[in-house]
Structure 1
Amino acid sequence: MARVVKVFRTLRNHWKKSTFAVCVLSYGGYWLYGKHCDNVLRREACLVAREFGRQQIAPQERLRKATVILNPAACSGKANNLFEKNAAPILHLAGVEVTVVKTDYEGQAKKLMELMEQTDMLIVAGGDGTLQEVITGLLRRPDHDKFSNTPIGFIPLGSHNSLSPSLHLLSDNKVKDITSATLSILKGETVPLDVLQIKSEKEQPVFALMGLRWGAFRDVSSTISKYWYLGPLKTNAAHWFRTLRVRLYFLRHCRVCSTNTECTRGNTHNSCLYSTTLEASACQLELPEASGTFYNIDNEEYEAMPVEVRLLPRKLRFFISAERREQLLSQTQ
Structure 2
Amino acid sequence: MSWTLTEEHLEDLARGAAVLGTGGGGDPYVGRLLARQAIREHGPVTVLDPGELAGDALVIPTAQMGAPTVVHEKLPSGEEPALALRTLERHLGRRAEATMPIECGGINSTIPLAVAARLGLPLVDADGMGRAFPELQMETFGVYGVSGSPMAIGGERGETTVIDTGTDNRRMEWLARGITIRLGGVAHIAEYPMSGADVQRTAVPRTLSLALTVGRAIREAREAGADPVAALATALGDTRYSHLRVLFRGKVSDVERRTEAGFARGRAEAVSFDGEHKLEILFQNENLVAMVDGEVRCLVPDLVCVLEAETAEPITTETLRYGQRVTVVGISTPSLMRTPEALATFGPAAFGLPHRFVPVEVAG
- TM-score normalized with structure 1 length: 0.32
The structure where strand makes up a greater share of residues is 2
The structure with higher relative contact order (CA 8 Å, sep 6+) is: 2
Bigger radius of gyration, 1 or 2? 1
- TM-score normalized with structure 2 length: 0.30
